Chain A
């Protein structure tokens, strides 16, 4: 029994090493003094300093945050509406088709999403003259669409768990359906909204492929800048940047997970 559990531990450890060794080495090398990425020249935070003096990277980071913020916000609105319709109006016919369609972007190759969005934007510009060229707006629209798919999945799971009778109770006490939605439904699903927002935000921050398709001049996101820098050779400040991003993303994921857990515990208590 004991040897078996030791074996299990070994396998688990190997798995974690496999997953996290590359990231760990990147984090370690971000503190490398040497300009050569593969040679250890002693500990230093030099590249972090360099990073914060690079206007190109700072600009791209700011653009990325703006895009992520706006697209995540749009995504949870669309996601909430979609999941509300899917869960609450259970009787309408196209339900299963629609719920499949909303989750399709989760499994669709990003290249295809990016390409199709690009074609759509070009066509729209030709027909209705909007959006004028590609840039910030088109990336936000693109990120909102796939963010909404993820948001819908998260919010749906919360809505399914929600006790319908509390909405009925509010109606019974004189609240019209719209009022019920804002007074009762929204506050109850709020934890799911927060985690959906964080998820969409993180996804938008990470995205390279779709952004590359629908971006235009002057709207390079952070991943795009990193990618173009790396193509010219890996520079140590990219390591530093990647470390910061890893930190932020894991923070986001942890907060989202904690949120979900807490709301789950609360609903179990009821």
Chain B
């Protein structure tokens, strides 16, 4: 492990013998009658950036506060590096947290903010000074040591907060919406810096975010949360391309859902009758369902094709009318009203400056998708 990442295996979660660095077992947190975190189990491996993704009130922040020790679990277990964390107060845990508001100490300079954790550990002054200097250069804030927090911009505060939470070399760094307060441009730059820093230090990150784009770029794996539960765990690719439920498909990116019923269930293909789409839909693989079962078929807007002429090479096609066109610069999004009455969104990337002007409002169009572009969702 020279650069912090296990070289032998980049995906420790696929290795049955790998020991998780953070284990969460049936963790539950209730506030009165409200269950914020509902029997969550989770394994995070060393060196991962694990994102907890969910809407507001889904319990992701509570889960983070349980990990940091600010909340006590109602039931369940948290094990970090083999040590049960029950009864360990926040100041004794080997986790550090980067707060959403950054929570910089307003009366201390940048330098003192960063040094605070080491000072509490009673380290010699000389060592504190060198480590603070190193940390300042790691987050590219060398010239700002003596500034006070209110003299910093949002992005600079974010760096100081990161430096302060990393200086104790925590086993686990918990980040609560680390980029939430930054504007879009800065967010994109900072995302990659965050990954670089994480890789150079080898600290395991658990990130809470409601921003799916942030989760997609940052994380090694994502845990999607809804109503206190983790509904799916997987790599960004798995979560996007193979969502396991309507919720995940709908929450991550946009999606067209066709409700239907399995009418023919074969080993190598399935036919789904979907009155919504006005046709039978062909799925080129078997699924673990039974005939007559209610399912939903998910197709991402960018996987749909749109054309004025019939798409004869595709098995799943439908006819409709263009209702709306949204030009977004890098892509155009079409809203098509199918003859069956369902609205479908299709996005096409604008590869050339002059394309797409052939398609316009009220055009009769054909839409369709490749056999393998759809995902069948039974829950």
Taking Cβ atoms with an 8 Å cutoff, the residues of A that contact B are 163, 165-166, 168-176, 179, 183-184, 187-188, 190, 266-267, 269-270
Contact = CB atoms under 8 A, between A and B. Distances in A.
Contacts of A171: 70, 89-91
Nearest to A267: B106
B164 interface: yes
B150 A169 contact: no
Given A172-B90, A270-B106, A165 B101 contact: yes
A169 B91 CA distance: 9
Contacts of A175: 91, 116, 120
Given A171-B91, A175-B120, 4 more contacts: A173-B116, A179-B120, A190-B107, A269-B150
A169 B106 contact: no
B150 A270 contact: yes
B107 A187 contact: yes
A190 B106 CA distance: 12
Given A175-B120, A188-B107, A266-B106, A168 B99 contact: yes
28 contacts: A165-B99, A165-B100, A165-B101, A166-B104, A168-B70, A169-B99, A169-B103, A169-B104, A169-B105, A171-B70, A171-B89, A172-B70, A172-B91, A172-B95, A172-B97, A173-B91, A173-B116, A173-B117, A173-B164, A173-B168, A174-B120, A174-B168, A175-B120, A184-B105, A190-B107, A266-B150, A267-B106, A270-B149
Contacts of B204: none
B117 A174 contact: yes
A256 B268 CA distance: 81
B91 A188 contact: no
Contacts, number: 68
Nearest to B100: A165
A42 B164 CA distance: 69
B3 interface: no
Interface residues of B, number: 27
Contact of B120 (A163, A173, A188, A270): A173
A263 B59 CA distance: 35
B78 to A, nearest CB: 15
A11 B136 CA distance: 60
B17 interface: no
A168 B120 contact: no
Interface string B253-270: 000000000000000000
Nearest to A176: B91
A170 B150 contact: no
The 9 closest A-B pairs by CB, nearest first: A173-B117, A174-B120, A169-B103, A165-B103, A187-B107, A166-B103, A269-B150, A165-B99, A171-B90
A53 to B, nearest CB: 47
B28 interface: no
A192 B25 CA distance: 45
A171 B93 CA distance: 10
A161 to B, nearest CB: 12
B131 to A, nearest CB: 13
A167 to B, nearest CB: 8
Nearest to B107: A187
B68 interface: yes
A126 B117 CA distance: 54
Nearest to A167: B103
Nearest to A174: B120
B233 to A, nearest CB: 26
Contacts of A169: 97, 99, 103-105, 164
A168 B68 CA distance: 10
Interface string B82-121: 0000000111110111011101111100000000110011
Interface string B54-96: 0000000000000010100000000000000000011111011
B157 to A, nearest CB: 9
Contacts of A187: 107
Contacts of A179: 120
A170 B105 contact: yes
Contact of A163 (B92, B101, B121, B164): B101
A183 B96 CA distance: 18
Contacts of B120: 173-175, 179
A191 B89 CA distance: 31
Contacts of B101: 163, 165
Contacts of A170: 105, 116
A166 B161 CA distance: 11
Contacts of B117: 173-174
Nearest to A177: B91
A29 B103 CA distance: 56
A266 B148 CA distance: 11
